[in-house]
Structure 1
Amino acid sequence: MKWISLSLMMLISLNCLAQKPTIYGIGDSTMANKVKPEENPERGWGMLFPQFLNDNITFDNRAVNGRSTKSFIAEKRWDEVYKLLKKGDYVFIQFGHNDAKDKDSLRYTNPHTAYRHNLIRFVLETREKGATPILFSSVSRRNFNDAGVLLPSHGDYTLEARLVAQEYNVPFIDMEYFSELLEQSYGPEKSKQLHLHYKAGEIPYYKEDKADDTHYCEKGATEIAKIVARELKKTKLDIVKYIK
């Protein structure tokens, strides 16, 4: 009888473990994990986001540098996520930077057609599995003009992400807006601290001058991850209970 009880307890424990939800992050370099992080100062916000989660959920960052919705699908990366999805999981969807590459036929998407329909596909197929999609607009670039005005970065891609979210009742985190506020709070010069601005030889990883206003250093990625956690806590989703 004791053995039966012990076996039952083990079965319950294994079942509970198997049901631990996963957040899958799909997107581009601004979210992605980076190679050689012990040397490379570049960070995607997805690398820092797990620090804002408790131990009852897993964050599986599938975002990859340089991907658009089109190339992410074409390379079967979405298929890999789709196969793993289970009820209770979440998918963070954030594309746009590379969808706008109109000199690259493998990545470019018209925001009003292919980009829109790719987002809809991610949403509907996530829901097919009983998981929850969450749409994010792309983060802003550090793009100040000479007057100190931060100029918009993503045009109709942000618009279409918002429209898909409205039409399909998908939770939407407007990261372009919140990252704009972050950049503006630092100002045209100090906002370099959020990104990759280094003189040649300042750190071993960069042999030449580096001035990257799209990607983040650890400080910038941490700030973005913090915003994501903050905005998720404002939703009515069950994911709130997994955020510290």
Structure 2
Amino acid sequence: MKKILFLFCVTSILFVGCEQEKEIAVFCIGDSTMANKAAEAYPEHGWCMVIDEYFNSSVKVKNHAKNGRSSKSFIDEGRWQTVLDSLQPGDYVFIQFGHNDQKAYDSTRYTVPFGSYTDNLRKFVTESREKKATPILFTSIVRRKFGANGQLSDTHGDYPVATRKVAAELNVPLIDLQKLTEEWVNNLGDEASKEMYMWTNITTERFKEPRTDDTHLSDQGAHKVAELATTALANQVPELAHKLK
């Protein structure tokens, strides 16, 4: 009897261990602030380029974010369909657009916040759920644009507002990176925050002059945003918390 009980306990432990180690994929869709970067862009980093460092080995990050894309162009170019075709039950989709959706001069990318932009976010959410994956909405990280009062100026208008409304409407987990990064960058201040963005004297074949880029992140900045995002995920998406380091 003791032997049978012992074997039952061992089997149960092994079963639980296997369950805990079940692999899932996290698909990231968005723009250049998320995207992987080519070596010639160094030290520029997208925050989803480093987020795998914050998950344990049971999570595989598949970063499909791409420079210059809006919610519209990501769909029109077939990039969303590629992700959708790959989704498996239990996977997650991290969705962050807005930076390029606001470019009214470009008809291939521009969307209306409470019109086509909202429709595109709904599409990402509903189609992810149809594949039994979990969508998570992210508002855009802030641009480093300080006003005369020494505080950041808003540069994203109604796009983060629209994202929050879709999250509430469809009961989607929301990571409000706009608010989180705004607080972080404001606390750093104008001068210190330059280290987190692409203010660098490094020159390359592609960038022959020092860069003063207030949109894209440095390696250090990308890691901080990934830290903010995963800390919020632990609170907003409890089922992912045990997969974080």
TM-score (structure 2 length as normaliser) = 0.89
Question: Structure 1 residue 198: deviation in Å?
Answer: 2.2
In structure 1, the partner of 2:36 is: 33
Equivalent residue of 2:189, what SS? Answer: helix
| CA distance in 2 between partners of 1:19 and 1:77 (Å) | 27
In structure 1, the partner of 2:189 is: 187
Question: Structure 1 residue 51: deviation in Å?
Answer: 0.5
TM-score (structure 1 length as normaliser) = 0.89
Equivalent residue of 2:50, what SS? Answer: helix
Question: Structure 1 residue 144: deviation in Å?
Answer: 0.1
Question: Structure 1 residue 97: deviation in Å?
Answer: 0.2
In structure 2, the partner of 1:5 is: none
Question: Structure 1 residue 237: deviation in Å?
Answer: 3.4
| CA distance in 2 between partners of 1:48 and 1:236 (Å) | 19
Cα shift readout 1:98-142 (whole Å, capped 9, x = no counterpart): 000010000000111000000000000000011100000000000
- Which of the numbers 160, 176, 179 marks the counterpart of 2:178? 176
- Which of the numbers 150, 155, 158 marks the counterpart of 1:156? 158
In structure 2, the partner of 1:211 is: 212
Query: Aligned-pair RMSD on alpha carbons?
Result: 1.8
Q: Quick check: 2:103–2:109 contact (8 Å CA) kept in 1?
A: yes
Taking the TM superposition and a 5 Å limit, the aligned residue runs for 1:59-138 are 59-138=61-140
Match for 1:20: what amino acid?
A: E
In structure 2, the partner of 1:166 is: 168
Question: Structure 1 residue 236: deviation in Å?
Answer: 4.2
| CA distance in 1 between partners of 2:103 and 2:158 (Å) | 13
| CA distance in 1 between partners of 2:203 and 2:110 (Å) | 34
Which structure 2 segments of 5+ residues have no match? 1-14
Equivalent residue of 1:214, what SS? Answer: strand
| CA distance in 2 between partners of 1:50 and 1:59 (Å) | 6
Which one is further off, 205-214 or 131-140? 205-214
Which structure 1 segments of 5+ residues have no match? 1-11
| CA distance in 2 between partners of 1:128 and 1:118 (Å) | 15
In structure 1, the partner of 2:4 is: none
In structure 1, the partner of 2:9 is: none
Question: Structure 1 residue 197: deviation in Å?
Answer: 1.0
Equivalent residue of 1:233, what SS? Answer: helix
Question: Structure 1 residue 48: deviation in Å?
Answer: 1.1
Cα shift readout 1:181-207 (whole Å, capped 9, x = no counterpart): 1111110111101011123xx444632
Equivalent residue of 2:62, what SS? Answer: strand
